[in-house]
Structure 1
Amino acid sequence: MFPWLTIAIALPVVGAILIWALPRAKAPAEPAVATASARAEGAGGGTATRVRPATGPGVVPSADGTTAKRIALGTSLATLLVVAAMALRFDTSQAGGLQFEQVVPWIPRFGVHYAVGVDGIALVLILMSAVLVPLVIVAAWNEHDDREDGGRGYFALILVLEAMMVGVFAATDVFLFYVFFEAMLIPVYFMIGRYGLGDERAKAAVKFLLYSLAGGLVMLVAVIGVYVYGGTFLWTDLTDPGGALAAIDPSTARWLFLGFFIAFAIKAPMWPVHTWLPDAAQSSRPGTAVLLVGVLDKVGTYGMLRFCLELFPSAVSWFVWPVVALSLVSIVYGAILAIGQSDMMRLIAYTSVSHFGFITLGIFALTPQAQAGAALYMVNHGFATGALFLIVGFLIARQGSARIADYGGVQKVAPRLAGAFLVVGLAGLALPGLAPFVSEFLVFVGVYAFSPVPAVLATAGVVLAALYILWMYQRTMAGPTPDQLTGLRDLSVREMWAVGPLIALIIAFGLYPQPMLDVINPAVERTVEIVPEAGVVADGASEEGDHE
């Protein structure tokens, strides 16, 4: 079988190596200076980032930076073509099982394999990743022209991260998944700490790293436990109902479940282990924030579906209601904190905490509609929030500030930018006709079938979403235009190429989501069938849970 997934992983790595092999520029340029404004008052929290572009004759695009951009864009487009060609060959009638599998011994002594394959959920997440990366590169085209290397290292790190993202969604060996899961931390750490914005970027990068490493170490213990009790790392063998892992003691299964869940909850992130995300988003370049929130955080929710539910079905009933409660807190808490933010990047980060609450709520409702909605929400959130980060990034690049108070009346001087902001903002509050509405509606339908109470409580998140999105739009785009914004440029052709495809996808999947659902539904049905408590957890705990 043609190694589609291996090629999709290898191409970005080759592109990154080519970029790093480029000769250094001889004439250094003065780097941009990032300063932080005064700490926002009240519930705004954090420091609003203000960026002062470098000036002087040395600020010119370097030759190696321009070449690096072209290599990065070409490589990402080639990867997208490979993934798209693979998707066209995907058999939707067999979407519940793994396709395009490769299993090669890697460390035979320890039973570790290079094993990759995709079901419907993994396929759409890989497609989402492959779409976002070239758009991020286009959006960031001129961001690093003032650096000595022209941003060569940044674009190489994007490609390395793309390879890790494809690998983590494709891995069907638990140890290989763990390797990709941890390896993603390296490029993101440098993308925030070295290429980020503001005086707090190093602190934010370290905080992200420490949270992620803590979760990864807990998961490593669980990974070892899976091998000890299951005798293999291969996901297909571990999920076999007649396999050794299926026969383990229920209390052991619960501890192993918890080990994976803690790591995934941090990655998602869920309340109360979410605090790294607003700091990381605020200190990131917009492109980094797109990949961080649009893709990397989905690894957490994907891991819950793939590993927590399918490896330990007997333990699920013990955790359903606690996770549902945490999800509801995330929905409401994230939305309330978003309303109080004065920094646009932090605001979007908190909206994502709320949105991830909807996703985890759908996953642990254990109904086909809710899980299909959750899987679809992962993709739609990636497109909608990715577009919002990019548009806010364009605005920050023009004015040099992420503070909401520094804007107003933008729609009068930059109507295209304001119009794009409005569309993606309405997608963020799940307006009917736009892609997130379909996924959120499915989550509500499925959760209501599970239990009406959490479904009703979760509607608070919908109401609050309208407040924080429309409030941000009103404060930045409507009203009188301040004197300092009268010369604000509208979206350029390059910027429209970066955000236009995302808006088109948001509208297209809002009007016709069936192609994605046809791919997702069989995988969701398999998960629901694997979890034996799916039909009874809505009434409390399983019979086993009641007696133990």
Structure 2
Amino acid sequence: MTDIPWLTLAIALPALGGLAVALLPRERVLAAKWTALGVSGAVLVLVAVMAARFAPTGGERLQFAEVYPWIPRFGVNYAVGVDGIALVLILMSAVLVPLVVLAAWHENDDADDRGKGYFALILVLEAMMIGVFAATDVFLFYVFFEAMLIPVYFMIGRYGRGPQRRAAAVKFLLYSLLGGLLMLVAVIGVYVYGGTFLWSELVGPGGALAGVDTTAARWLFLGFFVAFAIKAPMWPVHTWLPTAAGASRPGTAVLLVGVLDKVGTYGMLRYCLEMFPEASRWFVWPVVVLSLVSIVYGAVLAIAQSDMMRLIAYTSVSHFGFITLGIFAMTSQGQSGAALYMVNHGFATGALFLVVGFLIARRESSAIGDYRGVQKSAPVLAGVFLVAGLAGLALPGLSPFVSEFLVFIGTYAFHPVPAIIASVGVVLAALYILWMYQRTMTGPAPEGSARLRDLSRRETWAVAPLIALLIIFGVYPQPLLDAINPAVEATMRQVDVTDPAPALGDADTTASGQEEGDHE
């Protein structure tokens, strides 16, 4: 327990802020925007203070823990707490939300309510995003997992782009509900076999799930994994993402791809691996194969896209393949890289979606063919676009490079062949990012098109923090890794796996032994 309910405050503050924005009079649009910005900024400060008080080593794994009975008859508790992985994901969410609010200041001015409801939905969604990463009761996690669908559905269906936005919202909802239904069955199974929903009582050698029949554990693993694979998304259950992202406002896409999709990979790391360690080890190779398909398939389809929003969505399918590959490599480097990848991908993809949103606001089109020569009239915008794109292809010096490098090291230690195949995704990433930049930013401007203005002060403030974070954590990722590594080590112990011995070390030992024998 903790004296100050940090996590409850972090969940309640945006939820109450969203309610306050929704209750404002219809004509108080400007007040709604400033309220949303102020509340999300306050949440960021609160989470930052909480992060500063977090002790990566020397303390309990789950910190800022709160446990209160919720539905005692069914063993359901309001239980929250964070380890290093959950903390950095909550911090990433808290950083992205105020920037999305700032970037979306005029994004929905054409809506019936001029976007007042949109800003209320953003705050409600922030509360649920923090809740899903903080939940340490499996049932509470499921509630937040499903509840997130509601604000996102309306953010796409009502405030999205184009005539297909309602169809895209329904497709997103149906896919997510299917995954949620499978998870619900698995959640019930966890309670039947374990007798509790508390994560801390379910995991570990002496946990409530330790004696579960092998076959039952594998089926329960699948129930959670398929739900998380849909949320992530992985091939072949990925098709909702390009459709939803293509019909979303850029601000919605930032939260959808930058944060919500991380719930899937976070769930794999936290729930699939630690609650079902034997099943996780048994399913390693099928998941590795699916990850490799996602990496290559997503990258190839990204190259073929003519719409920038859909292109970025397909790149994320490829990136999530790297994350799941790192998780199921079952090495500390791979899992640390995967957890770090979640954060860096959120910043890089968030910056890319925001810049594309600024372009769409100027020409009301996301088609690549409608943009050429942007760097001549808007050099700052083009420069930001280039940095965000280079982060997407994991250029050394930018933060995604560190996480991708760790994933490759961890995967190669697990088995060289998947690492070699995954490297194809790096080459393809250079193609789809640089080709998109070339087609939109260079060359002569389209005939008859208006000259594009450069970034405004508000737009600069919205994207500059993300560019700064990409550079800072590209040069010095240690603060994030200091929080992540102890949690990864605990996960490795729970799953009962260890890093393979370095092959070079074995060779040196053998050679040394031979030399000693020859000397004798």
Flag whether TM exceeds 0.5 (same fold): yes
The alpha-carbon deviation at position 95 of structure 1 amounts to: 6.8
Q: Which residue of the partner structure matches residue 35 of structure 1?
A: none
Length, aligned pairs only: 500
Could you say if the C-alpha distance between residues 484 and 169 of structure 1 is closer, same or farther in structure 2, counting changes exceeding 3 Å? farther
CA displacement, residues 202-228 of structure 1 (integer Å, 9 cap, x when unaligned) = 000000000000000000000000001
The alpha-carbon deviation at position 160 of structure 1 amounts to: 0.4
Distance in 1 (CA, whole Å) between partners of 2:221 and 2:45 is 37
Distance in 1 (CA, whole Å) between partners of 2:344 and 2:154 is 27
Give 1:394-409 correspondences, 5 Å limit: 394-409=358-373
- Is 1:362 the equivalent of 2:364? no
Distance in 1 (CA, whole Å) between partners of 2:57 and 2:305 is 46
Q: Which residue of the partner structure matches residue 179 of structure 1?
A: 143
SS where residue 91 of structure 1 aligns?
A: coil
SS where residue 283 of structure 2 aligns?
A: helix
Q: Which residue of the partner structure matches residue 160 of structure 1?
A: 124
Q: Is the 8 A contact 1:96 1:523 kept in 2?
A: no
- Is 1:295 the equivalent of 2:297? no
**Which residue of 12, 32, 49 maps to 1:68?**
32
One-letter amino acid of the counterpart of residue 273, structure 1: V
Q: Which residue of the partner structure matches residue 431 of structure 1?
A: 395
Report the more deviating stretch, 527-536 or 149-158.
527-536
Q: Is the 8 A contact 1:96 1:120 kept in 2?
A: no
Q: Which residue of the partner structure matches residue 155 of structure 2?
A: 191
Distance in 2 (CA, whole Å) between partners of 1:151 and 1:486 is 27
- Is 1:114 the equivalent of 2:116? no
SS where residue 430 of structure 1 aligns?
A: coil
Give 1:1-150 correspondences, 5 Å limit: 1-25=3-27, 64-94=28-58, 97-150=61-114
**Which residue of 300, 320, 340 maps to 1:376?**
340
The alpha-carbon deviation at position 143 of structure 1 amounts to: 1.5
Give 1:191-270 correspondences, 5 Å limit: 191-270=155-234
The alpha-carbon deviation at position 420 of structure 1 amounts to: 0.2
CA displacement, residues 265-295 of structure 1 (integer Å, 9 cap, x when unaligned) = 0000000000000000000000000000000
CA displacement, residues 40-61 of structure 1 (integer Å, 9 cap, x when unaligned) = xxxxxxxxxxxxxxxxxxxxxx
CA displacement, residues 241-263 of structure 1 (integer Å, 9 cap, x when unaligned) = 21331111111110000000000
Gaps of 5+ in 1: 26-63, 539-548
Gaps of 5+ in 2: 503-520
Distance in 1 (CA, whole Å) between partners of 2:306 and 2:156 is 21
Q: Is the 8 A contact 2:26 2:116 kept in 1?
A: no
The alpha-carbon deviation at position 17 of structure 1 amounts to: 1.1
Q: Is the 8 A contact 1:390 1:499 kept in 2?
A: yes
The alpha-carbon deviation at position 146 of structure 1 amounts to: 2.9
SS where residue 227 of structure 1 aligns?
A: helix
Distance in 2 (CA, whole Å) between partners of 1:402 and 1:150 is 21
Distance in 1 (CA, whole Å) between partners of 2:386 and 2:201 is 48
Give 1:285-324 correspondences, 5 Å limit: 285-324=249-288
Distance in 2 (CA, whole Å) between partners of 1:380 and 1:144 is 28
- Is 1:444 the equivalent of 2:444? no
The alpha-carbon deviation at position 65 of structure 1 amounts to: 1.1
One-letter amino acid of the counterpart of residue 130, structure 1: A
Distance in 2 (CA, whole Å) between partners of 1:280 and 1:243 is 39
Q: Is the 8 A contact 2:351 2:467 kept in 1?
A: yes
SS where residue 248 of structure 1 aligns?
A: coil
> Whose RCO is larger (CA < 8 A, sep 6+)?
1
Distance in 2 (CA, whole Å) between partners of 1:475 and 1:21 is 45
Could you say if the C-alpha distance between residues 141 and 216 of structure 1 is closer, same or farther in structure 2, counting changes exceeding 3 Å? same
SS where residue 244 of structure 2 aligns?
A: helix
Distance in 2 (CA, whole Å) between partners of 1:7 and 1:219 is 28
Q: Which residue of the partner structure matches residue 151 of structure 1?
A: 115
Q: Is the 8 A contact 2:204 2:274 kept in 1?
A: no
The alpha-carbon deviation at position 22 of structure 1 amounts to: 1.0
Q: Which residue of the partner structure matches residue 272 of structure 1?
A: 236
One-letter amino acid of the counterpart of residue 502, structure 1: L
Q: Which residue of the partner structure matches residue 305 of structure 2?
A: 341
Distance in 2 (CA, whole Å) between partners of 1:480 and 1:126 is 43
CA displacement, residues 69-101 of structure 1 (integer Å, 9 cap, x when unaligned) = 011000000111110010000012147710000
Distance in 1 (CA, whole Å) between partners of 2:58 and 2:116 is 42
One-letter amino acid of the counterpart of residue 353, structure 2: F
> TM-score scaled by structure 1?
0.90
Q: Which residue of the partner structure matches residue 476 of structure 1?
A: 440
SS where residue 69 of structure 2 aligns?
A: strand
Q: Is the 8 A contact 1:377 1:440 kept in 2?
A: yes
Distance in 1 (CA, whole Å) between partners of 2:169 and 2:108 is 19
SS where residue 488 of structure 1 aligns?
A: coil
One-letter amino acid of the counterpart of residue 20, structure 1: A
The alpha-carbon deviation at position 145 of structure 1 amounts to: 2.3
Q: Which residue of the partner structure matches residue 30 of structure 1?
A: none
Q: Is the 8 A contact 1:96 1:526 kept in 2?
A: no
SS where residue 115 of structure 1 aligns?
A: strand
One-letter amino acid of the counterpart of residue 5, structure 1: L
The alpha-carbon deviation at position 484 of structure 1 amounts to: 3.8
SS where residue 70 of structure 2 aligns?
A: strand
Q: Which residue of the partner structure matches residue 544 of structure 1?
A: none
Q: Is the 8 A contact 1:95 1:119 kept in 2?
A: no
One-letter amino acid of the counterpart of residue 230, structure 2: I
Distance in 2 (CA, whole Å) between partners of 1:465 and 1:244 is 44
Could you say if the C-alpha distance between residues 177 and 94 of structure 1 is closer, same or farther in structure 2, counting changes exceeding 3 Å? farther
Q: Is the 8 A contact 1:366 1:450 kept in 2?
A: yes
Distance in 2 (CA, whole Å) between partners of 1:243 and 1:236 is 8
SS where residue 210 of structure 2 aligns?
A: helix
The alpha-carbon deviation at position 535 of structure 1 amounts to: 5.7
Q: Is the 8 A contact 2:14 2:126 kept in 1?
A: yes
**Which residue of 455, 469, 480 maps to 2:419?**
455
> TM-score scaled by structure 2?
0.95
SS where residue 114 of structure 1 aligns?
A: strand
Could you say if the C-alpha distance between residues 135 and 464 of structure 1 is closer, same or farther in structure 2, counting changes exceeding 3 Å? same
Distance in 2 (CA, whole Å) between partners of 1:520 and 1:463 is 28
Distance in 2 (CA, whole Å) between partners of 1:112 and 1:67 is 39
**Which residue of 480, 505, 518 maps to 2:469?**
505
CA displacement, residues 422-455 of structure 1 (integer Å, 9 cap, x when unaligned) = 0000000000000000000000000000000000
Q: Is the 8 A contact 2:332 2:499 kept in 1?
A: no
- Is 1:284 the equivalent of 2:243? no
Aligned residues with identical type, % of pairs = 76
- Is 1:520 the equivalent of 2:484? yes
